[in-house]
Amino acid sequence: MVERRVTVGWPEGLHARPASIFVRAAAAAGIPVTIAKADGSPVNAASMLAVLGLGARGGEEVVLAAQDAGAEAALERLAKLVAEGLEELPETV
């Protein structure tokens, strides 16, 4: 299992538009990815309802995890997206 701990860079946290951007990127990763608050249970990162249910706020730490082939690269891309609070999907996702 590969994990990345990252601080949410979107000031509003993983809510509405940022969650949508993140979920699309997680689905595009092509492997199962989970996300959890540092002290919480992991949820499917490709599920909008699950990600919104986390209630992750800006500045909070989340844990991204995956275990399939390609997990390292996928988590690096997702961690960068979350940390930088990008407003759209980068072309490389």
Reported as a single tens digit per residue, the pLDDT across 44-72 is 999 999 999 999 999 999 999 999 899 99
The answer to the question of residue 20 being in a domain is yes
The answer to the question of residue 46 being in a domain is yes
pTM over 0.85: yes
Q: What is the CATH number of the domain that holds 24?
A: 3.30.1340.10
Look at the chain and report how many structural domains it folds into.
Answer: 1
What is the extent of the structural domain holding 78? 2-84
The answer to the question of residue 73 being in a domain is yes
The answer to the question of residue 67 being in a domain is yes
The answer to the question of residue 77 being in a domain is yes
Question: Does 26 score more than 70 pLDDT?
Answer: yes
The answer to the question of residue 93 being in a domain is no
pLDDT at residue 10 in the model: 92
The answer to the question of residue 39 being in a domain is yes
Reply yes or no on whether 44 is catalytic: no
With tokens 């399939």, the residue in question is: 68
What CA–CA distance (Å, rounded) separates 51 from 45? 6
Residue 40 tokens read as: 């919480």
Which stretches of 19-72 are assigned E, i.e. beta strand? 34-37, 43-44, 61-66
Active-site position among 2, 15, 63, 89: 15
